[in-house]
Amino acid sequence: MKREPTTKTLNVIVVSDERSPVRRFQLRPDLLKRALAGAGALLLGLSVALVDYVRLRVQAVDVDRLRAQTTAQQATVESVQSSLEDLEGELARLREFERKVRVIANLPNSQTPPTGGPENGGQGGGGPEFGDLVAPPALDFVKSYVTPLAQIDWAFLDGLYAEMTAQGVEALKRVGADPNQITRELSADMRYVGQGRELTVALPEELLASRDPELLVKVFYADYQRLYSRCLTDVPVEALSWRLVVRAPAPKVSLAHRAADGASLANARKKPRRVYYYDIQDFVETQVYDHDRLMPGALIEGPAIIEQRASTAVAGPGDRVTSDAYLNLTIELAGSHAAKGA
């Protein structure tokens, strides 16, 4: 005779007290396993949901903090921009005043590049404008192109940099720079999308040549981390402006020194005048000298005034002034030369 399969059951007996009847429950093991598995899955799902909720809350706090920082930075930028506009107005007025002074005094324009080769540069007395002759010439350019880094039109960007480079090279060639020695430096103003303040990031040539926007993002992350000690990697980054600096080597300038021709210091003297010196709280009769008429090795005892084309040197009572072969002036303060001789 064939036996029917039996199903195992678990008996659960519940006894609350002596007067209450005994309660008995039968549980099938397979159903119990399914219930436990379902409870475990539900618990796991709740745990994952809780972790996701906590992560989203942390990100929301970071975004709120970034927005607050952006608002504060925007206010600072607007304040600085207003100050810069005021400064630009003052500079414009100063440039106009300089132009009028040069017209009245019949002086050459300070922005006119020197003519001729290095052999005739630096002739005569030195002045503040001499720095313009020996400083490496450089020009800055910037073009606006607002785009997320992930959506850069590389052909359009190449055109922007090609246009700026051509303008810079042509301008530097006009002041005598060798086109083969002109270099360029690339950078871009970047920020998180929606942020109020951008960060200027240097762009190596090979980075742009790679056409990889992820590399641009990594460079931005590195600079942002270095500046603010933190960065967000789940917020998109955009570029606003693309910058270029074209630079040429410093020109070679040979200076012609003035020979000591036996001229007397009296040839450089001008009419003396009374000058107030704060150290002694009094006016002192002071000899005035013309800097261009000094000879190398001249020794002048203070008080003295040496007038130059673009500046004035003042030696107080007890100071000592000497000039070298290029008519550079060295002033030893009162007491220092006496201490050396002691």
pLDDT above 70 for 260: no
Q: What pLDDT, on a 0 to 100 scale, did the predictor assign at position 111?
A: 42
Q: What pLDDT, on a 0 to 100 scale, did the predictor assign at position 101?
A: 54
Question: For residue 62, what is the enclosing H or E element?
Answer: helix 29-105
The contacts of residue 321 (CB under 8 Å, 6+ apart) are 298, 299, 300, 301, 302, 304, 306, 313, 315, 329, 330, 331, 332
CA-nearest of 300, 294, 305 to 259 is 294
Q: Which of 39-53, 148-162, 323-337 is modeled with the greatest confidence?
A: 148-162
Phi, psi dihedrals of residue 200, rounded to the nearest 5°: -80, 120
User: For residue 105, what pLDDT band results from cuts at 50, 70 and 90?
Assistant: very low
User: Per-residue pLDDT averaged across 250-279, rounded?
Assistant: 79
pLDDT above 70 for 305: yes
pLDDT tens-digit map of 167-179:
999 988 888 888 8
User: For residue 191, what pLDDT band results from cuts at 50, 70 and 90?
Assistant: very high
pLDDT above 50 for 118: no
Q: What pLDDT, on a 0 to 100 scale, did the predictor assign at position 249?
A: 87
Task: Count CB-CB contacts under 10 A for residue 327.
Answer: 20
Q: Which residues pair with 24 in a beta bridge?
A: 13
Better-scored residue on pLDDT, 1 or 315: 315
User: For residue 166, what pLDDT band results from cuts at 50, 70 and 90?
Assistant: very high
Q: What is the pTM of this model?
A: 0.44
| Residue 240 and residue 198 in contact, taking contact as beta carbons nearer than 8 Å | yes
Q: State what percent of residues in the chain have pLDDT above 70.
A: 75
Q: Which residues pair with 322 in a beta bridge?
A: 299, 330
Q: What pLDDT, on a 0 to 100 scale, did the predictor assign at position 245?
A: 93
Token pair 């606006």 is found at: 144
Helix (H, G, I), strand (E, B) or coil at 68: helix
Q: Which of 7-11, 30-34, 276-280, 288-292 is modeled with the greatest confidence?
A: 288-292
User: Per-residue pLDDT averaged across 305-328, rounded?
Assistant: 89
- CATH class, domain 124-247, is alpha beta
Phi, psi dihedrals of residue 184, rounded to the nearest 5°: -135, 150
User: For residue 2, what pLDDT band results from cuts at 50, 70 and 90?
Assistant: low
Q: What pLDDT, on a 0 to 100 scale, did the predictor assign at position 326?
A: 82
Mean pLDDT, all residues of the chain: 80
User: Per-residue pLDDT averaged across 218-224, rounded?
Assistant: 94
The amino acid occupying position 21 is P
pLDDT above 60 for 100: no
Cα 297 versus chain centre, distance: 44
pLDDT above 70 for 114: no
pLDDT above 70 for 324: yes
Sign of CA dihedral 99, 102, 103, 104: positive
Token readout for 60 is: 């929301």
